[in-house]
Chain A
Amino acid sequence: MTTLDPVTLAVLNGRLEQIVDEMDATLFRSAFNPIIAEAHDASHGIYHRSTGETLAQGKSGLPIFVGAMAFAVKTVIDKAEKDNDLEDGDVYIFNDPWDGGTHLSDFRLVQPIFRKGKVFCWIASVGHWHDVGGAVPGNYNPAATEAFQEGFVCPPVKLFRGGLYQQDIQAMLEANSRLPMSLYGDLNAQINALNLGAQRLHAILDEYTDDVIDEAMIALKDRAERLMRREIEGLPDGVYQATDYMDNDGVVDEELKLSLKITIAGDEMELDFSGSAGSCLGPINISKATTHAACYVAMKHVFDEIPANAGAMVPVNVVIPEDSILAATAPKPVGGYTETILRLIDLVFQAMSEAAPQRTNGCAYGTINALSIAGRRSDSGAPWVMFSFFGGGHGGSANEDGLQHGNAPISTATIPPLEILEAAYPVVFRQWALRPDSGGPGKYRGGLGAIYEIELLEENAQAFLFGERARTSPPGVLGGKPAALNKFFYDTEGAEQPISPPMASKIVGIPMKRGMRLRLETPGGGGYGCPKDRSRQSIRADLEAGYISESAAARDYGDLA
């Protein structure tokens, strides 16, 4: 084998990234459900032939999948090896979250790329489908105690067998969804993305030869590892700790502790989650695959220049206690995995703030607030499900205030325009606004969360919410103060005032009638640095804009205000 010159390597790096980016774009443009098309809750990549490690990853997909997909591909590799029936033209489909990571809504399509009769590498597409059965439309069931209540489970099966489409599989999937047409559209869009990826990959292999591409993939992984080691080496050795809490698991109203101890030694680091809560009854468990993926996302936010491939995590050892909330196995419910991984990322920001103050930030709002409203149209009887994630503030950082109303760190999701939601579903928004006083005070203030108030226009519907951060606020770092708590209110019959759910921001099946409203007030981000170091000018500007109230300014900034 020759050693690749740095110039060819740079060229191939760009070409491989373009292939996966283009797969992302194809899925987004042709997908049906807005969670993929608008929120980009999907991802594509190229994976190692035998280990399943990520070799290249699209830039626009959901960050959490960057780490999780390697486990998904490995699951398929193991399955194919066991069955010993892999052939060119096969495409596997599955949503098993314990081996493959994340939750049942995420359907993975995994395809081998054959060269000269042998598997050269794998490509995969994952997307969050609109509805996969279970007890709750949209599948965020905060009351689930088994995965079967969250949706149907699909183990790795062949969607294409030697290039032949297995219509039966599609029929089985459709029969288990409340929104089969949406499922059909998304499935097709993922196939479009794989087709395009395979075509492009074969073209580049033909152009450069298999050996050169193979060598480039290995070199790129080594390079990521080298860069990561250098970053870690630049940080002071030591032990850094943080503790944070989940509100409850949706079933038992008890706080759940999460602990992290980061040890930095030379050019390696360890993330040790020992001391975290044991596995819980409700759906905020996550599998080991998901825990690894979350660490990867956190590392990428701290060391944002490191390339997105498996090499980046080689110098990082992750310790996950067995039987903990971070090591779920079947059939533990994992539907709310987003909430738990957001907390893991918050832990990393807190623990790293001392070691790398320039690279961290106050914690972001820390919950996706998955809200669904579902019912049937009174004119046609047709079912409808409005499902969306809502935004909040980002934390302050080393040089500036946090972003107002951003997306969650695990995703690059945009929110659908309210006009699109109002045109598609029988609802009307009464407010869509920034939430004053929700950002954590600090030298650099956390960005503001939001207020969304929604009124039902149909006769009847039911609402479901899966949220967090209603009991423990998003913390600030380096003296920055926490942001405001998550709040949710809803109208009920017979009550004058709107009420909040007993489980804070998790509830199943709120009965709604025409004219009733839901109100979500999301957290801002945590502050960065001591409030006493904030400039008077910034405080005045905040007051003038109404980002903070007079009373909060007096409380948080004292004499400065």
Chain B
Amino acid sequence: MSGWIVGVDVGGTFTDIFAINPKTGEIKTAKTPSTPADQSIGFLNGLSAISDLQSIDAVVHGTTVGTNALLERKGARTGLITSEGFRDVLEMRRRDRPRTWGLRGTFRPVAQRKDRIEVPERVLSDGRIERSVDVEAVEKAARNLASAGCEAIAIAFVNAYANSQNETAAREAVERVWPNAHVTTATDILPEIREFERTSTAVLNAYLQPAMGRYLGRLQRSLGEDGASLLIVQSNGGLMTADEASKAPIRTALSGPAAGVVAARAVGLAAGYPNVIGCDMGGTSFDVSLIANGRTSLAAETSIDFGMVVRAPMVEITTIGAGGGSIAWIDAGGMLRVGPESAGADPGPACYGKGGNLPTVTDANVLLGRINPDNPIGGELGHLDISAAEKAIKTEVADPLGLSVIEAAEAVIKVANAAMAGAIRIVSIERGHDPSQFVAMPFGGGGALHAGALIREVGLAGAVSPRYPGVLSALGANIADMRLDRVQTINSALDNVEEGYLADLAARFWTEGSAKLESSRAPIEKTEIEIELDMHYQGQTHSIPVRLLGDELSAIDLSRDAVLSTFEAAYKKSFGRLLIGPQVRVMNLRVAVIGRRPPFDLGRLAPTAGNSERSLSGMRKVYADGKWHEASVFKRLELPIGTRIDGPAILEQPDATIFVDPGLVAEVDRLGNIFMHSAG
């Protein structure tokens, strides 16, 4: 194999391609219009912009097919077969409500009640089978669901995490009569205690199976039987094969954003920043992710929407409604607020001139001189309407607050920045990380306009703007590692876990995992293991993650003593005080088998020549800290390595604008990233 490895990121508007040829060292990027009705068309157009299919070895894809189907509730009609007495577990959730205040709002599960069928069976909490599953009842239920029109089916039994025998027997029975491959067994997806979370995850998986299967099937057929291997980015940033993704599509729920975070991590590490806060600013939202010591922060559980709970490790993304299109308004108490309402893309900010007359963050940025009205990013709009922006800010913000228009515009940015800073604090300070050890990494359209202010607001070490923010997700897909996650509930006092049991389980998962990686045809350099235990004191219901150190199985000590001391260190770090007396318990064993991809030298993206004199494209007035400044405007991509620019300054490139605030310095590092930090 000597062809291209192609990373593909399908966005709402454009499909971005980032391709590497490991043999020749060549790099190609491409941008083609997305085809939302059938994403595979835009996808294949993108591939052909790189090379003919024969010379592509692997295609690595961050997909939003699953995300969109979940958010828009456009998955398949899904049936559920479950234990007698527990048909409504899915609908009853964990007895929560949508909002703390105001008793409004309701919940409709994706598997309707009439499509949820109980069958006789029962396993007890210690794994004893009180009643074997009635397979005839299962077959009958499956036949009924199929003839009712269900396209996918999930099987979820109570306590099956402790013994999955009944569930497996039911699966075999279903497979005898079910007309397609869209069958999900809950403990296959998640063999963990907590029936609602497991059932919900399984049902949502089944719900996505048909759409994902069709989509990936089309892609695979287009790539040809012996053609390029197709790999998919999981929500935790690791890759899996397309076959696995068809079986476990729920693992792709955050596939797209995860690819971006993978790239942020790689760019950060290459530039010497193992601690990165990823800031993805779009039109309606600001998404923050965290990488600490080179490790991406993952959430064990995510609610896609009220009651739509997915329990699977996903990149932890904190979202607030503060994007370029977020609307500024004065609340009934006279306080200036920004978002969460957004003008979206249509009508969009007032300055788009498409009929919007409400002031947005983008309008404020235009008035402050930070966005070039004659050459806005994205390239869709030729020119921005400054007077419309001015009018909107004046009527809605300046007049009610008794400020001048320009003061009001700056106030809007300050409030938006404060909200973004709050999101950054949630993922950093609130998790015990010191922000002065972190850099912000803006990606998406507008992030780099605000990164400078966030440095000061949160007390960050600085901000790093990657050289090509627009293709960051496609790049991330291209360099992500292969990853297979396994979890096993232990639910036992550490003292009662037989010495060697954890090590044996880990060894089994390792053997199975490495065999799978071997057969995936993915380009892998070496295979590593990560082991984590969920642990707590007897009596607590929440656990803390306890990571056992070591990249290789043989280097990881899973003896009870080692596990205990690692737990105590982790507990102390989280809460400060160890407890004396209660037993220490192990809830779950988590094993990840990781296929490391060959390293990609980001230096290949660095500028080769350039001249900071020539890159100066002019001067522009910008307003900051209560006054006007004359700011130099540079063509960012033409800045040579080592350039140092004092703020205020504006650095422009086709897919991003960087604002260097007064008092900040921007430097071009050896990889072509812009590192912004305090001048002091």
B24 interface residue per 8 A CB criterion: no
Question: Does A176 sit at the interface, judged by CB under 8 A?
Answer: no
Contact of A301 among B94, B102, B425 (CB under 8 A): B102
A511-531: contact bitstring with B at CB < 8 Å (1 yes, 0 no)? Answer: 000000000000000000000
Which residue of the partner chain, among B104, B158, B333, contacts A226 with CB atoms under 8 Å?
A: B333
Q: What's the Cα separation between A428 and B401 when bound, in Å?
A: 62
**A418 at the B interface (CB under 8 A):** yes
Tell whether, in the assembled complex, residue A420 and residue B193 are in contact, meaning their CB atoms are under 8 Å apart: yes
Please, how many angstroms separate the alpha-carbon atoms of A30 and B130 in the complex? 35
Please tell me if B1 contacts chain A, counting CB pairs below 8 Å. Answer: no
The answer to whether the Cβ of B539 comes within 8 Å of any Cβ in the partner chain is yes
In the complex the two chains form, is B333's CB within 8 Å of A223's CB? yes
Indicate with 1 or 0, residue by residue over B155-171, a CB within 8 angstroms of chain A CB atoms.
00011010000000000
Nearest-Cβ distance from residue B63 to partner chain A, whole angstroms: 31
Q: Considering only CB atoms, which chain B residue lies closest to A33 in the complex?
A: B539
Beta-carbon contact of A223 and B87 below 8 Å: no
- Residue interface mask B570-581, A partner, CB < 8 A = 1: 000011110101
Tell me the minimal C-beta distance from B192 to chain A in angstroms: 10
Q: A489 an interface residue at 8 Å Cβ cutoff?
A: no
Q: Which chain A positions have C-beta within 8 A of B332?
A: 226-227, 230-231
Residues from chain A with Cβ under 8 Å of B379 in the complex: none
A402 in the interface (beta carbon within 8 A) = yes
- Which residues of chain B from 59 to 109 have a CB within 8 Å of any chain A CB? 85-89, 91-107
Report whether A6 and B101 are in contact in the complex, using a CB–CB cutoff of 8 Å: no
In the complex, what residues of B have CB within 8 A of residue A224's CB? 333
Contact between A433 and B87, CB atoms less than 8 A apart: yes
Given A9, A13, A22, A404, which contacts B92 in the complex, CB threshold below 8 Å? A404
Which among B102, B195, B581 is the interface contact of A184 at CB below 8 angstroms?
A: B581
| Bound CA–CA A433/B86 (angstroms) | 6
Report chain B residues within 8 Å CB of A60. Answer: 100
Chain B residues closer than 8 Å to A395, beta-carbon distance: 103
**Most chain-B CB neighbours within 10 Å: which of A25, A230, A231, A403?**
A403
Which A residues, 1 to 59, have Cβ-Cβ distances below 8 Å to chain B? Answer: 5-7, 9-11, 13-15, 18, 22, 25-26, 28-34, 37-38, 59
Digitize A289-312: 1 where CB-to-B-CB distance is under 8 Å, 0 elsewhere: 000000000001100100000000
B492 to chain A, nearest CB (A): 10
A189 to B86, CA, bound (A): 34
- The answer on a CB contact under 8 Å between A403 and B98 is yes
- CB pair B101–A7 under 8 Å, yes or no, is no
Chain B residues within 8 Å of A259, by CB: none
> Given A227-B333, A407-B95, A450-B92: A361 and B103 within 8 A (CB)?
yes
Task: Give the residue name and chain of the B residue nearest to A36 (CB).
Answer: B541
Q: Is A209 an interface residue (CB 8 A)?
A: no
Say yes or no for B124: interface residue by CB 8 A criterion. yes
A545 touches B85 (CB 8 A): no
Chain B nearest CB: distance from A127 CB in Å?
Answer: 13
Question: Which has the most chain B C-beta neighbours within 10 Å: A192, A195, A418, A428?
Answer: A418
Q: Which of B104, B196, B411 contacts A417 (CB 8 A)?
A: B196
Cα distance, A275 to B603, chains bound together (Å): 80
Interface residues of A in 64-108 (CB under 8 A from B): none
> What are the residues of chain A within 8 A of B430 when measuring CB–CB?
18, 22, 25
Point out the residue from B89, B91, B124, B582 that lies within 8 Å of A181, measured CB to CB: B582
Question: In the complex the two chains form, is A59's CB within 8 Å of B425's CB?
Answer: no
Q: Is A250 an interface residue when CB atoms closer than 8 A count as contact?
A: no
Nearest chain-A residue to B87 (Cβ)? A433
Which residues does chain A contribute within 8 Å of B100, judged by CB atoms? Answer: 59-60, 63, 412
Q: A428: which B residues are within 8 A, CB to CB?
A: 122, 124-125, 130
Query: In whole Å, how far is A396's beta carbon from the nearest beta carbon of chain B?
Result: 9
Residues of B within 8 A of A413 (CB): 95
Give bound CA distance, A249 to B582, whole Å.
38
Q: Which of B89, B401, B540 has the most CB of A within 10 A?
A: B540
Closest to B306 in A: A403
Any A CB within 8 A of the CB of B510: no
When the two chains form their complex, are residues A404 and B334 in contact, meaning their CB atoms are under 8 A apart? no
Q: How far is the CB of A108 from chain B (nearest CB, A)?
A: 20
Q: B541: nearest residue on chain A (CB-CB)?
A: A37
CB pair A401–B579 under 8 Å, yes or no, is no
A397-410 toward B: CB 8 Å interface, digit per residue (1/0)?
A: 11111111111010
Q: How far is the CA of A438 from the CA of B39 in the complex (A)?
A: 45
What size tier do the contact residues of chain A reach? 35 or more
Q: Is A495 an interface residue (CB 8 A)?
A: no
**B interface residues, tally (CB under 8 Å):** 70
| Set of chain A residues within 8 Å of B415, measured between Cβ atoms | 7, 10-11
Within 8 A of B (CB), among A402-436: 402-407, 409, 412-420, 422-423, 428-434
Q: Which residues of A252-300 are within 8 A (CB) of B?
A: 300
Residues of B within 8 A of A59 (CB): 100
Given the interface pairs A188-B579, A192-B577, the reply to whether A432 lies near B89 with Cβ below 8 Å is yes
**Residue numbers in B under 8 Å from A114 (CB-CB):** none
Residues of A within 8 A of B124 (CB): 422, 428
Distance of A548 Cα from B130 Cα, bound (Å) = 32
- Which residues of chain B come closer than 8 Å to A361, judged between CB atoms? 103-104
Complex contact A419–B575 (CB within 8 A): no
B270 to chain A, nearest CB (A): 33
The 8 A CB mask of B121-158 against A (1 = contact, 0 = none) is 01011000010000000000000000000000000001
Q: Are B106 and A223 in touch, CB under 8 angstroms?
A: no
Contact with B along A430-459 (1 / 0, CB 8 A): 111110000000000001001001000000
Q: How far is the CB of B456 from chain A (nearest CB, A)?
A: 12
- A546's partner among B114, B411, B575 (CB-CB below 8 A) is B114
Q: In the bound complex, how far is the Cα of B331 from the Cα of A224, in angstroms?
A: 11
Give the distance to chain A from B285, nearest Cβ to Cβ, in Å: 17
Instruction: Find chain A residues with CB under 8 A from B99 CB.
Output: 304
Please state if B103 and A7 are interface contacts (CB–CB under 8 Å): no
Instruction: Report how far A224 CA is from B88 CA in the complex, Å.
Output: 41
User: Which residues of chain B have C-beta atoms less than 8 A from A231's C-beta?
Assistant: 332
> Contact between A6 and B104 (Cβ–Cβ < 8 Å)?
no
Chain B residues whose C-beta falls within 8 Å of the C-beta of A195 in the assembled complex: 576
**For B95, what are the chain A residues with a Cβ–Cβ distance below 8 Å?**
391, 405-407, 413-415
Nearest CB in chain A to that of B192: its residue = A419
Q: Is the CB of B92 within 8 A of A14?
A: no
A388, chain B: closest CB distance, angstroms = 10
Cα–Cα, bound, A208→B196 (Å): 45
CB neighbours of A432 from chain B (8 A): 85-86, 88-89, 92
**For the complex, what is the distance from the CA of A421 to the CA of B398, rounded to whole Å?**
57
* Nearest A-chain residue to B581, judged by Cβ: A181
Q: In the bound complex, do residue A547 and residue B542 qualify as a contact, i.e. CB atoms below 8 Å apart?
A: no
B113 within 8 A of A: yes
B85 CB, min distance to chain A CBs, angstroms: 4
Find out whether the CB atom of B125 lies under 8 angstroms from the CB atom of A29: no
Q: Which residues from chain B contact A431 at a C-beta distance below 8 Å?
A: 85-86
Within 8 Å by CB of B335, from A6, A18, A191, lies: A6
Question: Is A332 interfacial (CB 8 A cutoff)?
Answer: no
Contact with A along B426-445 (1 / 0, CB 8 A): 10001000000000000000
Partner of B194 from the list A189, A400, A403, A419 (CB cut-off 8 Å) is A419
A390 to chain B, nearest CB (A): 8
Asked whether B419 is an interface residue with its Cβ less than 8 Å from the other chain, the reply is yes
Q: Does A550 contact B (CB under 8 A)?
A: no
Judged by a CB distance under 8 angstroms, whether B524 is at the interface is no
Per-residue 0/1 for A205-233: is the Cβ within 8 Å of any B Cβ (1 yes, 0 no)? 00000000000000000011011001100
8 pairs of residues in contact across A and B, judged by CB atoms under 8 Å:
A18-B426, A26-B575, A33-B539, A226-B333, A364-B103, A407-B95, A419-B194, A546-B114
List the interface of chain B (C-beta within 8 A of A): 85-89, 91-107, 112-114, 122, 124-125, 130, 158-159, 161, 193-197, 331-337, 401, 411, 414-415, 418-419, 421-422, 425-426, 430, 491, 537-542, 544, 574-577, 579, 581-582
Q: With contacts A415-B95, A419-B193, A432-B88 known, what are 18 further pairs, Cβ within 8 A?
A: A5-B411, A10-B337, A10-B418, A25-B430, A32-B582, A184-B581, A185-B579, A185-B582, A394-B103, A400-B105, A405-B95, A417-B194, A419-B125, A422-B124, A429-B85, A434-B88, A450-B92, A544-B114
